[in-house]
Structure 1
């Protein structure tokens, strides 16, 4: 009788443990964001982006550039802060471009380098959020 009772108790404990493990796995899988949820939609990107209109400035040398940007921030508060800091962002762009030669801005690598440098410099100023990406929307190099 005791062996039969111990076997029944052991089976019940194993079943309860198994149900608990399955419940934990299901809850953790459901709470993880999927890759589709993690990526913002284009509407969300536009709502959190700030346009920096065309800037014309001299480069290091005799060349000059006309360039404009769209800056994507992580949220609405960051966008509002970036809009207030517009003059500081333009200053960062002009000072960074004044240190670059025309050869550094030609090609994909040069433009990506500029975008990353601007993003890093802008994030140094940001307090309410951060800049996610800097897009070059037009560029004329002469």
Structure 2
């Protein structure tokens, strides 16, 4: 083989090794960032707001007493949610007024999602990451 062919093959092998090494580094760094985005249980507890119990009537005349745990993404968002307590109650009461007893038997995921999206529209800084139903009594 000529000297030129040997040099070209060596250069291609070196470039290939560098490309593979770069790919491995990029994938590992991206994987670490995704792991860091998840909230720890301590963060969830520290940045969550427990709503007051709300008792109201439903569209079919039944009554419900319900309470939520609202998880935020940080301390500033938590403070804002605490200040917007009256708006939270308003959102919940308006949404519950359209529900029936059967809606509560089939699950609360839709209600939690509506509360989450409505609150996210209100907060100016940060976001609501999750809404959990922590107490529900249907009469």
Structure 1 match to 2:90 = 91
Give the match for residue 76 of structure 1.
Answer: 75
Superposed CA RMSD: 1.9
Give 1:123's match in structure 2, choosing from 106, 120, 124.
Answer: 120
123, 129, 133: which one aligns with 2:130:
133
Provide the C-alpha distance between the structure 2 equivalents of 1:7 and 1:76, rounded to a whole number of angstroms: 63
Query: How many angstroms apart in 1 are the aligned matches of 2:138 and 2:82?
Result: 26
Gaps of 5+ in 2: none
Give a deviation string over 1:39-63, Cα, whole Å, max 9, x none.
3221111122111021111222322
Quote how far apart the aligned CAs of 1:36 are.
Answer: 4.8
The secondary structure found in structure 1 opposite 2:52 is strand
The one of 90, 110, 114 aligned to 1:113: 110
Paired residue for 1:41? Answer: 40
Task: Give SS of 2:18's match.
Answer: helix
Provide Cα deviations, 1:63-106, integer angstroms capped at 9, x if missing partner.
21111110112233322221221111111111111221222112
What is the aligned length?
Answer: 138
| Alignment deviations for residues 111-142 of structure 1 (CA, whole Å, 9 cap, x no partner) | 11111111121112122122121111011111
1:11 shift after superposition: 3.3
Q: Distance in 2 between matches of 1:122 and 1:129?
A: 11
